[in-house]
A and B are shown apart, each in its own frame.
Chain A
């Protein structure tokens, strides 16, 4: 095991290279630039390629293009670059090409605050391209160590599901310095629960079966299989066609290969949820760390408060929200995004509350004040807000 005191950006590159990433396409953007820099140093040492593109749209296209030629590839950005991924993200979904995308969320919309954490791309990560008719896989770490491990998991899932997987981090994870353990031996990898999948290639001649099957390898160009790799609605052979019947089969595959195999994807952390808690705090990413401390301290004071941290955000883990109680959803945005999914997933009669902050983490004191208000049935009034929207 190698130990480092390093940034999440560094940890992500270590994870990617361990997972077999051999091409990274970058475009500088705060706070993900250091991933590109570390890749440009480390990839050539293992025979991999760092390429830099004219914009994020081209960067992800280069990464997906190289993936369609058989390499494991990755790209990384922040919000303003993530929206420029819309074209190539859709291309990868439609062609069913594996690739890993990292988004280090900052404060938006648009340029916003570059060097501070946000969580404004919760829904954007679910709908990274237009057109619908697809499911997406999104994993959200809350530490540098977990960012490394989930990058490896993202490569694993992208291969098995033939689809892009997004690691949705934030500025604190990617810029923050933390203790990182990088496994070296197979035993160490196994002890950490890491999963790996090799790239194989689809031998054709048909495109992909019109079923929810996973573990069907992706089309790879340059293997002389007569591959037809396109974002047009395909026939079962891969020819472009404009019929509703063909598109229904294509959509079924893109949606249900993920929905019907959700158990392979779902990850979460729960704390004190088994004794019918009065409040369950819900948070993902870095705010979950101060929320967790607040929940533990509240328990020490005798308050019945629990916590749910979704790690796989999409498909959204509805099944975690089976208890009828008060939910407090804590996010790094003011508009409230994940709270809408919790409201949808929670049983009728549950109370759904929202605590939003942006650019900095909620404090333990703020969490305790909020728990007290909810326990006393007092309304939450975010500072300067007319009322709580939920």
Chain B
């Protein structure tokens, strides 16, 4: 364990039980690095996780308070918890692409609408990999998976004309970004901005799955192949080429421009309470 891990993570869970060559650790480390750069202490964060590779492998890694939600429902749990927990703590969620853009998408939209403080790091391994490798809502066209054996024929939500981040922007999210896990320092800088937004932030980060995605899509479990395959198809916004699938960078930054859900609610409740106490009526 390095210095960062010793302070912020639990020895019991690091290294995680992720497959050899999995890129999830890059996402995880970037987030912990961002929190360290911002001088957060363990006690400043409540860390929530979903299910699947991204949720399971990051659950109870944080050296402070942790929770794991049911499939796709970690967002309404966080919205309720946000009201009950101390105002000066932050909610961090590490979830997968199926959880955020599939089963939990309706809840994500309403978390964006209400601008509830949560930094959602969507760790995207391009489909449902912990169940063996079925296609998801970001699987690129033509890709062979266990449930698209003749190639992915449906459109997906990273296409320029139907980007999930556009939907979330219209839904009210106040910070939105996309990266690939090998973006390193750039990803850390984006996550630092995301965490500092007192509202709904979502950072979509694609990472390589060697075991199932790479085996089906590239015919190889060699980690170098899938790392290069993703890297070659990613480019910063404005530097796209014809082959670019993932345009990386900050898509939308309206940080701290709208009231945060729980704080707005608490203010309203305190005003109402004062009014009725003054009137002495019920």
A residues neighboring B (CB under 8 Å): 23, 25, 43-49, 51, 53-55, 57-59, 61-71, 73, 87-88, 90-91, 95, 221-232, 238-240
A256 to chain B, nearest CB (A): 24
Query: Please, how many angstroms separate the alpha-carbon atoms of A44 and B83 in the complex?
Result: 13
B102 to chain A minimum Cβ distance, whole angstroms, is: 15
Pairwise interchain contact A88-B73, C-beta atoms closer than 8 A:
yes
Please name the residue on chain B nearest to A91 by beta carbon.
Answer: B70
List the one stretch of B175-183, B191-199, B249-257, B265-273 in contact with chain A.
B265-273
B78 touches A51 (CB 8 A): no
Q: Which residues of A contact B89 (CB under 8 A)?
A: 222
B282 on the A face (CB < 8 A): yes
In the bound assembly, the distance between CA atoms of A91 and B46 in angstroms comes to 18
- B85 at the A interface (CB under 8 A): yes
Docked complex Cα distance between A352 and B88 (Å): 60
Pick from B60, B77, B269: contact of A91, CB under 8 Å: B77
Q: Is the CB of B83 within 8 A of A90?
A: no
Closest 10 CB pairs of A and B: A69-B84, A65-B80, A230-B68, A222-B85, A62-B80, A65-B77, A66-B80, A61-B76, A58-B76, A44-B272
Q: How far is the CA of A62 from the CA of B107 in the complex (A)?
A: 11
B273 touches A71 (CB 8 A): no
A26 to B60, CA, bound (A): 30
Judging by beta carbons under 8 Å apart, are A228 and B66 in contact? Answer: yes
Q: Is B64 an interface residue (CB 8 A)?
A: yes
B110 touches A (CB below 8 Å): yes
**Which one of B56, B80, B269, B273 contacts A61 once the chains associate, using CB atoms below 8 Å?**
B80
**In the complex with contacts A23-B84, A65-B76, A65-B79, A45-B276 CB distance below 8 A:** yes
Q: Select which of B63, B66, B79, B110 is within 8 A of A229 by beta carbon.
A: B66
What's the Cα separation between A43 and B268 when bound, in Å? 12
Which B residues touch A43, using CB under 8 A?
Answer: 269
Return 9 A-B CB contacts under 8 Å, by A number: A47-B270, A47-B273, A51-B79, A54-B109, A61-B77, A88-B70, A221-B85, A227-B66, A229-B65
Tell me the minimal C-beta distance from A31 to chain B in angstroms: 24
Cβ of B13 within 8 Å of any chain A Cβ, yes or no, is yes
Complexed CA–CA distance, A203 and B71 (Å): 28
Assuming the contacts A221-B85, A239-B13, asked whether A69 and B80 have C-beta atoms less than 8 A apart, the reply is yes
B interface bracket (residues with beta carbon within 8 Å of A): 35 or more
Residues of B near A87 (CB, < 8 A) are 70-71, 73
Q: Are B67 and A230 in contact (CB under 8 A)?
A: yes
Whether the Cβ atoms of A58 and B107 lie closer than 8 Å is yes
- In the complex the two chains form, what is the Cα distance from A54 to B104 in whole Å? 12
Is A49 a contact partner of B70 (Cβ separation < 8 A)?
no
* Pick from A44, A45, A64, A71: contact of B77, CB under 8 Å: A64
Structural contact, B110 and A53, CB atoms closer than 8 A: yes
B-side contacts of A69, CB under 8 Å: 80-85
- CB <8 Å contact, B12 and A239: yes
**In the assembly, what is the distance between CA of A73 and CA of B67, in Å?**
18
Residue of A47, A65, A68, A222 with most partner-chain B CB within 10 A: A65
* B69 part of interface (Cβ distance < 8 Å): yes
List the B residue with the shortest CB-CB distance to A2: B282
Residues of the A chain whose Cβ atoms lie less than 8 Å from the Cβ of B147: none
Q: Which residues, 41 to 70 on B, are CB-close (under 8 Å) to A?
A: 43, 46, 56, 59-60, 63-70
Q: A323: shortest Cβ distance to chain B, in Å?
A: 44
Task: Evaluate contact between A61 and B83: CB separation under 8 angstroms.
Answer: no
- Contact, CB under 8 Å: B60 / A222: no
Q: Are A68 and B273 in contact (CB under 8 A)?
A: no
Once bound together, how far apart are the Cα atoms of A66 and B262, in whole Å? 11
Instruction: Answer whether residue B106 sits at the interface, using C-beta atoms and an 8 A cutoff.
Output: yes
Q: Say which residue of A58, A63, A68, A71 sits within 8 Å of B73 (CB atoms).
A: A58
**In the complex with contacts A228-B66, A229-B68, A57-B73 CB distance below 8 A:** yes
